[in-house]
Amino acid sequence: MARGACMPAARRSGGPEGGGMRRRHLHAEALEAIAGYLFASPVILGLLIWVIAPMIGVVLISLTDWNVLTAPHWVGIRNYVKLFTTDLYFWNTLKVTAYFVVLNVVCTTIYSLVVAMLLNQRIRGRSIYRSIFYMPTIVPVVASSALWLWLFNADFGLFNLLLQGVGLHKSLWISSQTTVVPSIVIMSVWGGAGNTIVIFLAALQGVPRQLLEAVEIDGGNWWHRFRAITLPMISPVTFFNVVTGLIASFTIFTQSYVMTGGGPNNASLFYVLLLYREGFQRNNIGGAAALSWVLIVIVSLLSLLIFRTSRQWVYYEGGNG
Amino acid sequence: MRRQVFMVSALSGALLLLVAFSAGATGAGEKAAPSGGPATIQYAYWGDQNEEITTTALLKTFMDKNPNITVEGLRFGSNTEFDQKITTLAAAGTLPDVSTFYEPNVLTWGMSGKFVDLTDFYKKGPPKLDVIKFITPDGKIVGISVANEIMVIWYSKKIFDAAGLPYPPAEASKAWTWDHFVDVSKKLTKDANGKTPNDADFDKDNIRTFGFWVTQWWMPWLTFAASNGGGLTTPDGKKLIMDDPATIDAIQKMADMINVHHVSPVPGSQNMPGAIGTALLSGQVAMAMDGTWDLLTLGTTKEQQGLDFGIGVLPYMKKLATTSVGTPEVVYKSTKHLNESLALLGFLMDPNSSLPLLQNGIWLPNEKQWYTDPTLLQKWIGNPRHPEEYKTAVVDFALNYSHQLPLYIVPTFAKMDDVISAALGQVWLGQKSAADVIKNEIMPKITPIFQGK
């Protein structure tokens, strides 16, 4: 019998010999482990009950033809097949949502970076400007949608009044198929850039000053500083903003629900609006569940794609950039 | 360590399975109570805070008259919120006993057996208006609108006076033809320089007053389609006539108001908060086609801000027509207290109970005799809120010329309207003709929906 069998590091299911000391060790570790699990259990249970279980539930529902009013019947993947083949709105919705996502992510990222760089200057009242740019994010979207409806009004709205005031042509804003998504992007950038600006600002402040000065000494101007130092140094944050922006943009809903109802001619019938309508207004819960899982797959694949390509353009300090 | 890991995983797995299975199960129903004894029923409705006050007072009156029935009121913020939440309640199995209901889904719910068949219930009592009965294809009445609303012309007397034109007629016998209506609209439309569409230098990008305004939802175009002899379906709801030349023509005429005659604003412009009262008061619009429910808002605007408005009958294309709509009251089959629920229904559907709402202008009654009997008429229109012309422009017009909307008898209406409203957007914007859109885009899509595929 080796003393080694009693060492805490070695977990050997042994016989009764030397069990006394082993049992004492195991008892202490068991207590520690149980305590650990207990402390973590609220989060684990929460995740299980309110996230994972409903997700499984939704998968099950998507395999039925449930319309809430009668008992569900198992139909297998028919809902999914219908989406991709006979559904009147699915492909259009994908197109429209993709258009919005791309435009929104590009515009928000560029706008936020520019504003963050401006706010990074040593000017007076800097904190006031930062608050002003952050404030739109705390305005409830429903309330701001009502206000933007007036701004966008083609005949009496403020934007057209301003456009005409400087001699430009009126725009139809949300009343036309071609301009409705860009209009909603404008509103979304206004309301959502605050968070991105703050994060970019933090990243910019982490750019080492000596590197920027080195470029200056070498005769570079602001563009060289930006391209060679700033951009690569903040690329992890840019990456984060792009991925989170992408995921958030796919869930665009309130603006089209309140302002356009999906029109004109389904040009703003975004994915989640269609999902909501199918599930809660047309009693097609099975179809809505299928829609939601397709969305999860799409967003996951896109995120994966961005993660994969990130190796080309994201530089981690002291890392493999 | 392995043992703990195994134990926790097993526990989590068991919990997961338990939750997953219970996620699909529907919950318990309402609380059971011995029938005949005191009963508690739930009445769900939607409305703002003012309507909550009115409804709560109404329910209290009912409870005073029926001491052994307690009614819990459940208010939702809007009809679309109601629609969403009632679906959730159905999934959870906790539906109310009586409620109002979002019109487009009444028939689908009725056909799924969610509502009590009220045909026999309505055989008793004074006759209700025919145009506001929700009837399933197999002939069951599953709900009746508690109020009647029709479309009329609301106009600003000030703008008409300034232009020196006679007001829109308040009697059906004197109703304007469509062409005359277009003509008047053109005379009232003014651009920033005061020019009308009849003038050579009219600036259509700078219009300050529009002659005519209507929102592009289903009620207005269905009304004018009826007036032109067309519609979405035949009156019995059995055949699609969306592509009938009369329907196409009606829609094209409405679109022309925007793009050819330039007397109406671009669609989507109407989604402004405070809509009609503000538009008439600020002179942005001379005439508006909208529902009779506006009397509440316009009456208040008149009293508080001096808006001098008038009511006129609608212009006609081939024959006089307006359409009716109104929130229905339904009783759920899942109720545990049918008699008490029917008692509440009878009370709510009685125009006497809704007298305050009839008097303040937001509702019209659902019983025929309230349109014809002078004593009853005096009860609800004999007040300053209802203008002089109300009797002929609204009461008589509604009684004699109101057409039933397909919403009341065609279960697939909501799904078809998703397609129609979207596609017609191109017609309202002047991008395509009504004939093109209806024949090539709308009909191929709504035909399978109508046939139930």
Cβ burial, residue A57 (10 Å; 0-12/13-18/19+):
middle
Residue count of chain B, please give it. Answer: 453
Does residue A247 form part of some domain?
yes
* Chain B residues inside the 8 Å CB shell of A56: 16, 20, 23
User: A148 and A42: one domain?
Assistant: no
Both tokens assigned to B222:
């269905």
Q: Which contacts qualify for B253-256: CB closer than 8 Å, 24 or more apart?
A: B253/B178, B253/B224, B253/B228, B253/B317, B254/B214, B254/B220, B254/B221, B254/B224, B254/B428, B255/B427, B255/B428, B255/B430, B255/B434
How many structural domains are present in chain A? 2
**Which of B12, B414, B422 is the closest to A265 by Cβ?**
B422
- The mean-pLDDT minimum among A20-29, B89-98, B347-356 falls in A20-29
CA distances from A164 to A155, A169, A171, B122 (A): 11, 6, 10, 59
Does residue A299 form part of some domain?
yes
pLDDT of residue B205: 86
Does residue A11 form part of some domain?
no
Instruction: Round the average pLDDT of chain B to a whole number and report it.
Output: 88
Across the range B396-416, mean pLDDT stands at 94
Instruction: Give the predicted TM-score (pTM) of the model.
Output: 0.84
Across the interface, whether the CB atoms of A48 and B205 are under 8 A apart is answered no
* Chain B residues inside the 8 Å CB shell of A269: 422
Whether the CB of A254 is below 8 Å from some CB of chain B: the reply is no
Whether the CB of A137 is below 8 Å from some CB of chain B: the reply is no
Closest CA to B128 of B394, B346, B411: B346
* Chain B residues inside the 8 Å CB shell of A259: 271
* Chain A residues inside the 8 Å CB shell of B16: 48, 52-53, 56
User: A207 and A121: one domain?
Assistant: yes
Both tokens assigned to B344:
């509440």
Does pLDDT of B6 surpass 70? no
CA distance B147 to B441: 35
Whether the CB of A294 is below 8 Å from some CB of chain B: the reply is no
Across the interface, whether the CB atoms of A33 and B284 are under 8 A apart is answered no
pLDDT of residue B206: 87
Does residue A104 form part of some domain?
yes
Give how far B419 is from chain A: nearest CA, Å: 8
Does pLDDT of A91 surpass 50? yes
Does pLDDT of B32 surpass 50? no
Across the interface, whether the CB atoms of B268 and A155 are under 8 A apart is answered no
Closest CA to B330 of B155, B90, B65, B81: B90
CB B346 within 8 A of CB B207: no
Closest CA to B149 of B331, B346, B407: B407
CA distance A182 to B7: 54
Say whether the peptide bond before residue A264 is cis (omega within 30 degrees of 0).
Answer: yes
Across the interface, whether the CB atoms of A61 and B415 are under 8 A apart is answered no
Give how far A80 is from chain B: nearest CA, Å: 17
pLDDT of residue B15: 60
Whether the CB of A118 is below 8 Å from some CB of chain B: the reply is no
Higher per-residue confidence, B29 vs B406: B406
Does pLDDT of B307 surpass 70? yes
Please give the angle made by the CA atoms of B173, B179 and B181, to the nearest 5 degrees: 65
User: A263 and A182: one domain?
Assistant: yes
Does residue A13 form part of some domain?
no
> Looking at B318-373, which runs of residues are DSSP E strands?
322-325, 328-331
CATH code 3.40.190.10 region(s) in chain B: 39-148+326-403, 149-324+412-450
Does residue A141 form part of some domain?
yes
pLDDT of residue B273: 43
Whether the CB of A48 is below 8 Å from some CB of chain B: the reply is yes
pLDDT of residue A54: 93
Q: Which residue's structure tokens are 């057996």?
A: B113
Per residue in B310-347, pLDDT (tens digit) is: 999 999 999 999 999 999 999 999 999 999 999 999 99
Per residue in A34-88, pLDDT (tens digit) is: 999 999 999 999 999 999 999 999 999 999 998 888 888 999 899 999 999 989 9
Does residue A157 form part of some domain?
yes
- The mean-pLDDT minimum among A74-78, A98-102, B50-54, B198-202 falls in B50-54
Mutate to test the interface with A, among B6, B272, B333, B417 (most CBs of A within 10 A): B272
Q: Which CATH fold topology does B149-324+412-450 show?
A: D-Maltodextrin-Binding Protein; domain 2 (3.40.190)
Give how far B398 is from chain A: nearest CA, Å: 30
Across the interface, whether the CB atoms of A279 and B418 are under 8 A apart is answered no
pLDDT of residue B27: 39
* Chain B residues inside the 8 Å CB shell of A174: 268
Both tokens assigned to B7:
């134990």
**Which of B114, B210, B415 is the closest to A282 by Cβ?**
B415
User: A169 and A134: one domain?
Assistant: yes
Across the interface, whether the CB atoms of A88 and B445 are under 8 A apart is answered yes
- Chain B residue closest in CA terms to A56: B20
User: A89 and A191: one domain?
Assistant: yes
pLDDT of residue B23: 47
User: A149 and A266: one domain?
Assistant: yes
User: A198 and A268: one domain?
Assistant: yes
Please, what is the end-to-end C-alpha distance for chain B in angstroms?
Answer: 58
Across the interface, whether the CB atoms of A175 and B23 are under 8 A apart is answered no
Give how far A234 is from chain B: nearest CA, Å: 41
Per residue in B260-302, pLDDT (tens digit) is: 999 999 887 555 545 788 889 888 999 999 999 889 888 888 8
User: A57 and A162: one domain?
Assistant: no
Mutate to test the interface with B, among A176, A281, A284, A285 (most CBs of B within 10 A): A281
Across the range B183-211, mean pLDDT stands at 91
User: A34 and A130: one domain?
Assistant: no
Give how far B354 is from chain A: nearest CA, Å: 29
Radius of gyration of chain B (CA): 25
Going by pLDDT thresholds of 50, 70 and 90, the confidence category of residue A125 is confident
- Chain A residue closest in CA terms to B334: A69
The number of beta carbons lying within 10 Å of the beta carbon of residue B418 is 24
- The mean-pLDDT minimum among B84-88, B186-190, B448-452 falls in B84-88
Across the interface, whether the CB atoms of A175 and B24 are under 8 A apart is answered no
**Which of B1, B84, B266 is the closest to A172 by Cβ?**
B266
Q: How many helices (H) and strands (E) does chain A have?
A: 14, 0
User: A89 and A37: one domain?
Assistant: no
Per residue in A208-266, pLDDT (tens digit) is: 888 888 988 988 888 888 888 899 999 999 999 999 999 999 999 999 988 898 889 99
Does pLDDT of A2 surpass 50? no
Residue A49 structural domain: 19-62
The domain boundary, picked from A34, A62, A90, lies at A62
pLDDT of residue B71: 94
Per residue in B221-249, pLDDT (tens digit) is: 999 999 999 999 999 999 999 999 999 99
Does pLDDT of A130 surpass 60? yes
**Which of A30, A170, A174 is the closest to B268 by Cβ?**
A174
Whether the CB of A266 is below 8 Å from some CB of chain B: the reply is yes
Strands B328-331 vs B207-213: parallel, antiparallel or unpaired: unpaired
**Which of A170, A265, A282 is the closest to B423 by Cβ?**
A265
CA distances from A70 to A135, B130, B338 (A): 46, 30, 21
Q: Which residue's structure tokens are 């003509």?
A: B183
Give how far A114 is from chain B: nearest CA, Å: 33
Give how far A49 is from chain B: nearest CA, Å: 7
CB A118 within 8 A of CB A181: no
CATH number at residue A162: 1.10.3720.10
Does pLDDT of B18 surpass 70? no
CB A239 within 8 A of CB A105: no
The size of the A-B interface in CB pairs under 8 A is: 130
CB A232 within 8 A of CB A317: no
Q: Which residue's structure tokens are 């099975």?
A: A286
Mutate to test the interface with A, among B5, B103, B213, B269 (most CBs of A within 10 A): B269
Does residue A14 form part of some domain?
no
Q: Which residue's structure tokens are 């080492």?
A: A208
**DSSP state, B93?**
T
User: A111 and A173: one domain?
Assistant: yes
Describe the crossing of helices A231-250 and A90-119 by its angle, rounded to 10 degrees: 140
Q: Which CATH fold topology does B39-148+326-403 show?
A: D-Maltodextrin-Binding Protein; domain 2 (3.40.190)
Across the interface, whether the CB atoms of A283 and B415 are under 8 A apart is answered no
Across the interface, whether the CB atoms of B90 and A61 are under 8 A apart is answered no
User: A29 and A149: one domain?
Assistant: no
Across the interface, whether the CB atoms of B268 and A262 are under 8 A apart is answered no
Across the interface, whether the CB atoms of B268 and A30 are under 8 A apart is answered no
pLDDT of residue A10: 45
Going by pLDDT thresholds of 50, 70 and 90, the confidence category of residue B24 is very low
pLDDT of residue B350: 93
